[in-house]
Structure 1
Amino acid sequence: MHSYTHYIRQSETYTVKSGDSQDPPKKQKQLKTFFSLYRNMDEIIEQNSDTIQPRVLNGSAHEFCNNTDHCIRPFMRHETRYRVAPDYKMAHCVVHKSMSTVITGIMCYLYNRNYYLKVDKQMNMSEWDKAALCRGDNTFRHLKSLQKKYNVSQTGGWSYSMITRDPIDRFVSGYVDRCIRVAEGSSPCNGCDKNMTCFILSEYERFKKQAIKGVLTNTFEDRHFYPQNWRCDIRSMRHKYEFIRYSSDPSQQLMEDLFKIARRQGVPEKELEFIEDELTKNRKTTHTTAYSPAREFYQKRLRENPLLMEYVVRMFYHDFVILNYPFPEGF
């Protein structure tokens, strides 16, 4: 029997409640390679053949989330990680599954252009973080430590930015990346293997338990799914950030929005030209999940499943509201 049976039965009988669920049983699972996971669409389809169920809660998202315990609370404090370019007084807070690798490479380059041009001969900018070229030298986990290091105030001419992403798009990207492409450990993704119903319902329960306790488990998987409003000290910083919208092609919207900030902060055109060249060459790396058959399958599966969409809205309701993204149709 599959480890996700418990959660599928919950969805079929509409009894998903806080406080009475159990973690999926642990199951030994052999790690699979990137290529076998992407090519085995028959297995993905088979594991997601559970019946599409109606919603538990009707009405709009505002009606069932406002002042209720149905939706995950906002502003839990997860990690804040600023990448800085002090020469230009730029600080960017990175978030998993929101171009974190790309923006890390850009800020790494702006942090020390000459050194990294000498070191980097083969890699694309989006791979610099993997090689630890900046070694965390331009990384700060707290705004106060950043300000102390460079003796500045919040209004001292610095820019603070953050890339945001549509919550549904970010969830699907994270799911395909963490649960399909590079599933890690003996029982990845809550022991659900490739079944999205199991994962969404169990992840909702995990979020809810952690929010009630006020303590985050902070596993590698969770970090890719935690709400964006749990990151970057948004409660206190949201009026100071310049929010940049995610785009699947970083050479388009990201470059346009980021370059506006960079030019204002005095970044020379020759350095922006280098960044542009890096973003436009070899754009599709093995890490991208943007155009995979698995991604297309799960995106369609989620949007056609009213129960699963409801629980995604429950998890990320405050991301939709705070970051000004439209709710899916019907919510």
Structure 2
Amino acid sequence: MASAIQTYFWNKNAGYQRMDTVGTGRDYKQYCCIFLTISACLGIYGYFYYENEYTIYVDGKVVNFTGVEDFIPPFVSYYHEFLVAPKSKLISCAIPKSMSQLTINIMCLLYDEHSFSAENNSLNDTWTTERKCQEESQFRNPSQQLLNDPDTVRFAFIRDPIQRFVSLYLDKCIHTDFCFNCNKDMRCFVQSIYETLRNISDYRHGFEGLDMMAEHAAPLSWMCNFDKDLEKWHLLMMGSDFEERKSSILHLANILKRQGFNETLVDKIQKDTMGGETAHSTHTSSHREEAERQIRDDPYIRDLLHKIYFFDYIRTDADSPKLVCSLVEGEVIHMAKDMEDIVDEQYDCDLIAQEVVDEMKENEKLDFEGFE
């Protein structure tokens, strides 16, 4: 006969009172149910709310400095919008606020020149223009065969991360009102972006759905599956400077010619790209100078932008260290303040930037312990 256990409960009027005995077999099942229920609840909580601890790697090396845990980590595979011209083995990726509309227009033209012309489309069309190409599955989804083909070429337009943020701020807060209810307050806007990206990178439930603002503000390394095959991509830097734009368009023209596109079509793309802009372009906006001044003058804004985009500068420009200086010269000094031999009143920004990149390339890790 099974033994019995005695269970007690608290009665505020009578103290401890003895309850009826309960068979241990039945009680065992109840305890199992309770244990499994608690375990399931903890599992669900952990899945949705567990904060990931991560080690940041750049080019296979550990990156470590004081406060690194507050930085937005690179290579979170978050967003991609692939555009494909399969017959010519060409893939592009439209990165929000990095000439994405121009990228879509160019790839639609390359995908089907006849339909593009028949619909009277142009390279300066905006997102409101309906395009037949975007209804085609082949245009939006590269096949596995194409992805694995060594002759497939990939390109994406990229921008200086801080300039990209300025365009986002002008577009969402000045020209329209999709500004996190910040009422044009740049401090509020950048803080909201930072918190949104931290939530996505820190918690697994952040991947359940895409956040429109995160798509536009996320680091470049979060785009286009760059975490898997960045080395396969031609990254074409597009800035507001005419010569810089010209250089990138010439680079694209060479890519297109190598992929077999006829010279007349390539020349048209060159001419139209250099001569026009989409309607929501902001690089010539009268408000841009004021926004850039605010970033230069406000250390709080610079600090958050620094934390969001630091790894974009280090990773995507390892071969062009001068761009590290775009973080603002004062921030570059801040980054390299452990390097006492080059940080003084007569510092050389290019030299500091080169030191940052060399540290990453030559040593086991990037370790500026004085960095804050």
RMSD: 2.3
| Aligned amino acid, residue 226 of structure 1 | A
Cα distance in structure 2, aligned partners of 1:80 and 1:210? 15
| Partner secondary structure for residue 84 of structure 2 | strand
**Cα shift at 1:252:** 1.6
Cα distance in structure 2, aligned partners of 1:91 and 1:78? 18
Question: 1:87-106 maps to which residues of 2 (within 5 A)?
Answer: 87-106=87-106
Number of equivalent positions: 257
* 2:316 corresponding residue in structure 1: 323
* 1:127 corresponding residue in structure 2: 125
Cα distance in structure 2, aligned partners of 1:251 and 1:207? 29
Cα distance in structure 2, aligned partners of 1:69 and 1:157? 40
Contact 2:295 2:301 in 1 (8 A): yes
Aligned equivalent of 2:265, options 268, 271, 274: 271
Greater RCO structure (CA 8 Å; 6+ sep): 1
Aligned equivalent of 1:207, options 197, 221, 227: 197
Contact 2:89 2:146 in 1 (8 A): no
| Aligned amino acid, residue 157 of structure 1 | D
Question: 1:178-257 maps to which residues of 2 (within 5 A)?
Answer: 178-183=172-177, 188-214=178-204, 215-216=206-207, 218-248=210-240, 252-257=246-251
| Partner secondary structure for residue 224 of structure 1 | helix
| Aligned amino acid, residue 251 of structure 2 | D
Cα distance in structure 2, aligned partners of 1:239 and 1:131? 33
| Aligned amino acid, residue 182 of structure 1 | T
List runs of 5+ in structure 2 lacking aligned partners. 1-48, 50-62, 318-322, 332-372
Larger helix fraction of residues: 2
Contact 1:247 1:253 in 2 (8 A): no
Cα distance in structure 1, aligned partners of 2:222 and 2:186? 23
| Aligned amino acid, residue 108 of structure 2 | C
Divergent runs of 4+, >4 A: none
| Partner secondary structure for residue 180 of structure 2 | helix
Provide the identity percentage: 25
**Cα shift at 1:230:** 0.9
1:162 aligns with 2:162: no
Cα distance in structure 2, aligned partners of 1:288 and 1:253? 19
* 1:290 corresponding residue in structure 2: 283
1:309 aligns with 2:276: no
Cα distance in structure 1, aligned partners of 2:274 and 2:158? 21
Cα distance in structure 2, aligned partners of 1:288 and 1:153? 31
* 1:139 corresponding residue in structure 2: 139
**Cα shift at 1:318:** 1.4
* 2:320 corresponding residue in structure 1: none
**Cα shift at 1:70:** 1.4
| Aligned amino acid, residue 162 of structure 2 | I
Contact 2:75 2:221 in 1 (8 A): yes
Change (3 A) 1:316 1:251: closer
List runs of 5+ in structure 1 lacking aligned partners. 1-18, 20-60
* 1:173 corresponding residue in structure 2: 167
Cα distance in structure 2, aligned partners of 1:254 and 1:130? 26
**Cα shift at 1:173:** 0.6
| Aligned amino acid, residue 154 of structure 2 | Y
| Partner secondary structure for residue 146 of structure 2 | coil
**CA deviation vs aligned residue, 1:133-155 (integer Å, no higher than 9, x gap):** 123425335xxxx234xx33534
Contact 2:160 2:239 in 1 (8 A): no
Cα distance in structure 1, aligned partners of 2:273 and 2:190? 33
